Amino acid sequence: MALPAITITVDQYKGAGEVSPYPVEQFSKVCLAQGDSWFSIGAFPPPLTTNLLFSLKLSRSCVIINCASPGNVLSHMADTTRSRTFLQLLNGAQAMAFDAIFLSGGGNDLVDAAQSTDPSPSRRLLRTKAEWGPSVAAGMRYISDAGWAVFEAHIDAVLGELIKARDKPASKNRNVPLILHTYDRPSPRDCGAGMGCGPWMSKALQAFDIPQADWDAVAGELFTRLRDLLMAMSAKYPHVHLVDTQGTLVPAGNTQTAPTADWQNEIHPTRAGYRQLSAKWATVLDAVI
């Protein structure tokens, strides 16, 4: 029988004031999570959606100590000034031995990079109109090869720092399985998360005058490249596993401005969407941990 995984905050885990620490020892598996909005909040108000961890059901009882926050990018996750608590739990004075580390990262990095309008092609992912190539492969036509090379190097370097942090000689979590995931392909559209957050991809494509007819091709190319990059990283680094969820959700249409069955907004799934993704996670986690 599948059991719902329990997700708790760091404050719940530690306990504060008269509140006792969460009894994590009662669970078969204890995991640590770090990441972006797919592990935290994807819309305002938060009850509009959920996240990938809240829908997770496993064959054994599991509690997840969650350090994720919306808008988080990989560089922040390895930054001791921004993610001190996560690193303390991983290998610091507050560390405990975890059964796995879950990491939701790369998606926000990609969306942020796509929004860059820096004059240098190596510092943005999209080409200016003057740089567009022949209209042979629409998605590739608009992407800066120099910018993508820099993006790949960035993801590799930051993930490498996280692996080093996990595998410090005295770390209680040396060689513990690290679980990454791919992102399903969003459809760029005018559908934000509320409170002025988003949309993200559609604004970026509009800023570069990319025709709406090619928006899905560009997003598809970028997120397929990210999938390939994360697959390469899982093969390169030891004890890293990848949950490939790309192609699970039904895409929204470019002209749809409201939630669809699988997408709450431009880049975040609905509750039903997350349940589908969590089922893919459960298959991998039950095998790995």
DSSP state of 24: G
Model confidence pLDDT, tens digit, residues 228-280: 999 999 999 999 999 999 999 999 999 999 999 999 999 999 999 999 999 99
Query: How far is Cα of residue 21 from the mean position of the Cα atoms in its chain?
Result: 28
Model confidence pLDDT, tens digit, residues 22-44: 999 999 999 999 988 899 887 67
Indicate the domain borders of the chain: 3-288
Model confidence pLDDT, tens digit, residues 79-129: 644 678 899 999 998 899 999 999 999 998 899 999 999 999 999 999 999
Sign of CA dihedral 185, 190, 193, 198: positive
Query: Among candidates 56, 82, 47, 46, which has minimal Cα distance to 67?
Result: 82
Quickly name the fold that domain 3-288 has: Rossmann fold (3.40.50)
Is the pTM here over 0.85, yes or no?
yes
Q: Which pLDDT score is estimated for 81? A: 46
DSSP state of 4: E
